[in-house]
Each structure stands twice: as structure tokens, then as C-alpha cells.
């Protein structure tokens, strides 16, 4: 019997259902609420704020000298750009496959994105990066490890060094992930991480910014909205460093609250374990789909210590109409696939052509072709390994029906 003659397999769980906040995080959050001290600078004598503790713990986790908590990763990217000296009108290189808050942060800083193509494995095309860097003379690169895919960071840093480019890493989706032995966010001058619900530590909203540079962290702390209370940070340089910046840096009021930090601290303690749980699910899906006709799983470099909290694959040897049919039937059977091929932005998903506040849509033919055939979905940890097997079975069955 042909696969397409079989009963349709259906999947019924929600792709948007995250796990509960760990008990310890809930307990601590309730204590913070009972104390009434939710603002990070509302500390009793001798008390250290939850946010200050989280910053010190996160800096230690990734091996950075300094960390500051921010209201979101998008805001952290904005503060990072300002703190490394991006000025209105500056060009900022950026891989075109990224999330809307990334060009948003560049726009917020008054700068202009110069988009770089991606390759068939969804990684930044480093030849195009060099071309665009040389043509635009941009002095900044905001590199997004989009959907957790990490490009060769030795090659990126070599290009940046050679061309005098300051690197900022958008690690929204790579909390806990490494290239070689080094955490993402530690190759550039600044690394920014997200604590939004769909990333690797969930506080609803939240961002973390790390750097080894004492001027950059002093500026970032001041931009975040420290008033003249920066002394209360554990993760900070000597107070003298703030002296030269404190009257020159505006307060953007983008702080993290103690409630957020209270939820995050136990999640950080358990992060490596959670990353392994994601990878078991991701690797099962990759294995189950590896020999499926018309499906290509991206190649992942040996040095990439990824965290597979989402899954991407490309459809090959099919046309766009067939892609749309495939997506529609998958969705009818409960497998909600996101598609960057859509010409209209939908939900969280949009592509560079729809960011029309940027002057002139930059032509990126390779990226367009790759995104047209790329499928994408989250792997929430509320899915069991059995659930992942079921998702792969739906995808294989629909592909056989539509493409054969
Ligand atoms: C989620 C995400 C962001 C933005 O993070 P927020 O914390 O929601 O502001 C930026 N870049 C990428 C790649 C993301 O996935």
C-alpha cells in the first residue's frame, strides 16, 4: 500500500506550550512579591537584588567579565549598538535571516542595516559578508545566530579583525550553545541573550548583555537606566569607570525587574540539562527525517555546540505551489510549520522585504530561494520523544502525498 493511501496521522499538542516555571523560581518570585521590592534598586540595607545576583551568575556561566540585565534581548541589542559607538547614519552588517527585533534595534540606534546573504545551511554567507563589508565600509556587524544555527566563529572573527569591524552577537536563540568550547556571545565585543517565553529561559520578557569591556559595560548599565545607583551591581567595573560616562549617557529605562530575575535564576542552574533535553528531541527529528524524499536536513558543523530548541529543514526538488500545499496539509494535521517564504509577514515570522522602514529593499536572491523552501517549527519541552516521532511521521506522510 502506498503511504498516501493510509489514514492521515494527526498531531494534537500545542507548539506554543512551554513548561511551567520551576518550583524554586515560583517560590522566589512570590517572596519578591511579598517583599514589595520588585524594582532592582529597591533594596533593603545590606540586601543584594535578584537582578544583581542573576547578572553575576550569568557572567560566570558564560565566562564573561560583566553582565547587565535588560528588559528584552531587542533592547539589549539596541543598548549594545549604542555602547560600542554606533552613530545615526552608520551602516550595520546583519545576516538577512533574522528576527524583526534585530533590524528594529539597528533602526532604533538610527543606523541602517546592510543585509548579508545566507547559505543552504541557513548560516551567514561569509563570502557575501566580506563583499558587503568592503562595499559598504560598515564598521559594525550584528550577527544573529538565527534559530540556533552558528556559523564558523573563527572565520567571522578573522574577517572582523582584518576589516576593523566591531562584532555584536545576537544570541537570543543560543543561550547555552557553544562554538567549540566557547559560548556564543563571547566572540564579539558584546553578546545579547533573550529570556522571552519561546527561548531557553522563560521569564515572559527579559534580556542579558555580556562583555569584557569595562567602558562598554559602564555605558550599558547607564543606558539600561541605573540612575546613579550603579554601585549596587555586583557585575561591574570600578566606580571610577562610571565617572567619565555618567553625565553623557542617557537613561533609556530598559531595566530588568527582580521578578524576572527570580524566575530566571533556577532556570540558569538547570540550563545545561534543559539543553540536553532539547537536543534529544531535535536529534530524533533529524534522524527520523534524514532519509525522507524531498527533505533536506541542514549540515551542522562539527564545532557547533547547538541547542535544538527549534527545527528547520528544506524542501528540495519541488515547486512553490507544492510547498504551500505541503504546509497547509501539515497544519490541518496539527503540525504548524512556520514559513519565511510568505510574502506577507505572519505572526512572529517576517522577512527583510517586509521591513520597509529601511530605505530600498536590498536584493538577496540566494536568501530568498533558501527561505522559500525552508520549514521551521519550535520544539517545546512539553513534547515527549514520542511526540517528536509523531511529528516526523506526519511530515513524512504529507510529503509522500504531496510530492510523489
Ligand atoms: C527572539 C529573538 C530576538 C528578540 O528577543 P526579545 O527578547 O524577544 O527581544 C532577537 N533575535 C532573535 C534571533 C530572536 O530569536
Distance of alpha carbon 30 from alpha carbon 224, whole angstroms: 25
Share of the chain above pLDDT 90, in %: 96
H helix runs in 293-364, sequence order: 320-332
Domain termination residue (choose one: 199, 234, 269): 269
Q: 382 CA distance to ligand 1 centroid (A)?
A: 21
Domain termination residue (choose one: 251, 269, 287): 269
Distance of alpha carbon 217 from alpha carbon 12, whole angstroms: 46
pLDDT band at 276 (very low <50, low <70, confident <90, very high): very high
99 & 185 share domain: yes
Q: Could you give the 3-state DSSP secondary structure of residue 208?
A: strand
CB 166 within 8 A of CB 160: yes
351 & 316 share domain: yes
Q: Does residue 4 or residue 181 have the better pLDDT? A: 181
74 & 220 share domain: yes
**Ligand 1 atom at shortest distance from the alpha carbon of 173:** 15
pLDDT band at 5 (very low <50, low <70, confident <90, very high): low
pLDDT band at 154 (very low <50, low <70, confident <90, very high): very high
pLDDT band at 143 (very low <50, low <70, confident <90, very high): very high
Pocket test for ligand 1, best of 177, 194, 205 (most atoms within 8 A of CB): 194
> Residue whose CA is closest, atom 3 of ligand 1?
172
pLDDT at 124: 98
Residue 15 has pLDDT above 80, yes or no: yes
Query: What average pLDDT does this structure show over 252-263?
Result: 98
Q: 123 CA distance to ligand 1 centroid (A)?
A: 17
Pocket test for ligand 1, best of 75, 100, 170 (most atoms within 8 A of CB): 170
> Domain of 171?
23-269
Which residues, 6+ apart, have CB-to-CB distance to 300 below 8 Å? 121, 149, 306
Supply 95's cell numbers: 545576516
Residue 213 has pLDDT above 80, yes or no: yes
Ligand 1 contact via 170 beta carbon (within 6 Å): yes
Domain termination residue (choose one: 253, 269, 285): 269
pLDDT band at 187 (very low <50, low <70, confident <90, very high): very high
> Residue whose CA is closest, atom 13 of ligand 1?
146
pLDDT at 1: 47
pLDDT tens for each residue of 292-351: 999 999 999 999 999 999 999 999 999 999 999 999 999 999 999 999 988 889 999 899
Supply 298's cell numbers: 541542514
Pocket test for ligand 1, best of 16, 18, 74 (most atoms within 8 A of CB): 74
Ligand 1 contact via 169 beta carbon (within 6 Å): no
**Ligand 1 atom at shortest distance from the alpha carbon of 146:** 13
CB 175 within 8 A of CB 200: yes
Ligand 1 contact via 102 beta carbon (within 6 Å): yes
Q: Would residue 11 count as lying in a domain?
A: no
pLDDT at 404: 87
The C-alpha angle with vertex 233 and arms to 232 and 239, in degrees rounded to 5, equals 80
Ligand 1 contact via 72 beta carbon (within 6 Å): yes
Ligand 1 contact via 310 beta carbon (within 6 Å): no
211 & 275 share domain: no
pLDDT at 2: 53
Q: Would residue 171 count as lying in a domain?
A: yes
Count of domains for the chain: 2
pLDDT at 66: 99
**Ligand 1 atom at shortest distance from the alpha carbon of 145:** 13
Compute the mean pLDDT over every residue in the chain, rounded to the nearest whole number.
Answer: 97
pLDDT at 118: 98
Amino acid at each position: 500500500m502506498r503511504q498516501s493511501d493510509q489514514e492521515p496521522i494527526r498531531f494534537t499538542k500545542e507548539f506554543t506550550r512551554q513548561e511551567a516555571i520551576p518550583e524554586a523560581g515560583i517560590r522566589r518570585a512570590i517572596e519578591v512579591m511579598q517583599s514589595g521590592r520588585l524594582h532592582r534598586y529597591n533594596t533593603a540595607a545590606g540586601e543584594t537584588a535578584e537582578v544583581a545576583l542573576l547578572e553575576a551568575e550569568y557572567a560566570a556561566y558564560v565566562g564573561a567579565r560583566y553582565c547587565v540585565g535588560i528588559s528584552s534581548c531587542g533592547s539589549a541589542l539596541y543598548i549594545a549598538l549604542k555602547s560600542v559607538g554606533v552613530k545615526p547614519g552608520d551602516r550595520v552588517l546583519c545576516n538577512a535571516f533574522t528576527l524583526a527585533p534585530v533590524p528594529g534595534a539597528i533602526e532604533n540606534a538610527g543606523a541602517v542595516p546592510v543585509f548579508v546573504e545566507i547559505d543552504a545551511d541557513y548560516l551567514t554567507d561569509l563570502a557575501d559578508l566580506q563583499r558587503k563589508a568592503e562595499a559598504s565600509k560598515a564598521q559594525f556587524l550584528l550577527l544573529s545566530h538565527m534559530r540556533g544555527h552558528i556559523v564558523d566563529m573563527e572565520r567571522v572573527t578573522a574577517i572582523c579583525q582584518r576589516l576593523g569591524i566591531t562584532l555584536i552577537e545576537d544570541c537570543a536563540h543560543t543561550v547555552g550553545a557553544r562554538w567549540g568550547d566557547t559560548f556564543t556571545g563571547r566572540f564579539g565585543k558584546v553578546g545579547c541573550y533573550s529570556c522571552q517565553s519561546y527561548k531557553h529561559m522563560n521569564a515572559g520578557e527579559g534580556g542579558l548583555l555580556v562583555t569584557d569591556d569595562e567602558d562598554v559595560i559602564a555605558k550599558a548599565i547607564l543606558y539600561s537606566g541605573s540612575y546613579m545607583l550603579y554601585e549596587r551591581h555586583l557585575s561591574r567595573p570600578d566606580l571610577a569607570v562610571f565617572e567619565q560616562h555618567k553625565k553623557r549617557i542617557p537613561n533609556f529605562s530598559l531595566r530588568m525587574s527582580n521578578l524576572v530575575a527570580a524566575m530566571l535564576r533556577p532556570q540558569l542552574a538547570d540550563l545545561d540539562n534543559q539543553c540536553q533535553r532539547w537536543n534529544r528531541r531535535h536529534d530524533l527529528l533529524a534522524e527520523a527525517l534524514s532519509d525522507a524524499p524531498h527533505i533536506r536536513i541542514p549540515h551542522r558543523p562539527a564545532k557547533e555546540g547547538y541547542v535544538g530548541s527549534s527545527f528547520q529543514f528544506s524542501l528540495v526538488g519541488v515547486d512553490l505551489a507544492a510547498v504551500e500545499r505541503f504546509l497547509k496539509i501539515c497544519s490541518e494535521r496539527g503540525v504548524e510549520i512556520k514559513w519565511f517564504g510568505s510574502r506577507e509577514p505572519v505572526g512572529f515570522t517576517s522577512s527583510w522585504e517586509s521591513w520597509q522602514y529601511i530605505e530600498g529593499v536590498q536584493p538577496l536572491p540566494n536568501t530568498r530561494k533558501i527561505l522559500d523552501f525552508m520549514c521551521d517549527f519550535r520544539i517545546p519541552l512539553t513534547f515527549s520523544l514520542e511526540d517528536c516521532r509523531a511529528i516526523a511521521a506526519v511530515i513524512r506522510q504529507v510529503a509522500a502525498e504531496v510530492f510523489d
